[in-house]
């Protein structure tokens, strides 16, 4: 995700770290990662994909 965009989020995490939001586009979809950074450690909070709604048959 280093080549995507990175934004700080407000508030402190349970471990006292700072929240970061990482976003990267893959084709027509965006992958979003929310993490808590504590010193040299990174804790994954959640990840999800933004994009067109899936089609149903």
Question: How many domains are contained in the chain?
Answer: 1
- Residue 29 is predicted with a pLDDT of 82
Q: Is residue 55 part of a domain?
A: no
Quick one: pLDDT at residue 51? 67
pTM above 0.75, yes or no: no
Q: What is the pLDDT along the chain (57 residues), one digit of tens a residue?
A: 456 788 888 888 889 999 999 999 888 888 999 999 999 999 999 999 886 666 665
Domain around 26: 5-50
Q: What is the reported pLDDT for 1?
A: 46
- Report yes or no on 34 lying in a domain: yes
56 inside domain:
no
**In degrees rounded to 5, what are phi and psi of residue 46?**
-160, 160
Give buried/exposed letters for 3-13 (b at 16+ CB in 10 A, else e): eeeeeeeeeee
């Amino acid at each position: 995700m280093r080549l995507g965009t990175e934004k700080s989020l407000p508030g402190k995490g349970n471990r006292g770290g700072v929240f970061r939001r990482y976003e990267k586009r893959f084709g027509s979809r965006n992958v979003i990662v929310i993490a808590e950074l504590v010193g040299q450690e990174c804790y994954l909070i959640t990840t999800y994909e933004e994009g067109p709604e899936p089609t149903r048959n």
